[in-house]
């Protein structure tokens, strides 16, 4: 019986570790959504569209992995985040004529902070961690 309990406990820990790795990857991708890719030259002052397609692609990949590993609550919160990131309303608020890219990226990050916090809270509940 002790072997069975140990096996189940080990499986639970392994599953939690796999979730944690997927969650960390998603968190990195969500933080990078409000950045300009290093491999792409910064735009000249003028028309800018955020979020950058490369960052959206990375976030989509990380969200796909979440759908395999995460609880339904976390997966739903992450999907809601992506829906907001790519919503025409948000894109219109942070795209257009710009003189200062850093200011625009900071505004974009601020607009997404509450939505991101909701995903993080779901992840913490899922992993049973506190902050």
pLDDT in tens, 89-105: 888 888 777 778 888 88
Beta bridge partners of 97: 47
Residue 3: pLDDT over 60: no
pLDDT score for 11: 63
Q: Note whether residue 13 is domain-resident.
A: no
Total domains, the chain: 1
Burial group, residue 66, by CB count within 10 angstroms (0-12, 13-18, 19+): buried
Residues 6+ apart with CB under 8 A from 117: none
Q: Is residue 61 part of a domain?
A: yes
Query: Domain containing 121: what range?
Result: 19-127
Domain assignment of residue 37, yes or no: yes
Q: Residue 82: inside a domain, yes or no?
A: yes
Buried b (16+ CB within 10 A) or exposed e, 102-125: eebbebbbebbeebbeebbebbee
What's the token pair of residue 41? Answer: 């030259």
End-to-end Cα distance, the chain: 35
pLDDT at res. 10: 59
pLDDT tens, residue by residue, 14-60: 888 989 999 999 999 999 888 888 788 877 666 777 888 899 999 99
Asked if the structure places residue 6 within a domain, the reply is: no
Please write down the HEC assignment for all residues of 11-79. Answer: HHHHHHHHHHHHHHHHHHHHHHCCCCCCCCCCCCCEEECCCCHHHHHHHHHHHHHHHHHCCHHHHHHHH
Average pLDDT across the chain, whole number? 84
Q: Is residue 4 part of a domain?
A: no
pTM, entire model:
0.79
Domain assignment present for residue 5? The answer is no
């Amino acid at each position: 019986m002790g072997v069975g309990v140990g096996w189940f406990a080990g499986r639970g820990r392994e599953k939690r570790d796999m979730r944690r790795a997927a969650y960390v990857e998603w968190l990195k991708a969500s933080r990078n959504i409000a950045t300009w890719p290093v491999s792409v030259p910064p735009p000249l002052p003028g028309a800018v569209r955020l979020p950058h397609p490369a960052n959206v692609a990375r976030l989509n990949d990380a969200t796909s992995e979440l759908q395999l590993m995460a609880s339904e609550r976390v997966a739903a919160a992450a999907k809601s985040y992506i829906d907001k990131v790519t919503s025409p309303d948000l894109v219109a608020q942070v795209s257009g004529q710009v003189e200062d890219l850093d200011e625009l990226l900071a505004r974009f990050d601020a607009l997404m902070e509450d939505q991101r916090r909701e995903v993080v809270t779901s992840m913490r509940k899922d992993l049973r961690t506190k902050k």
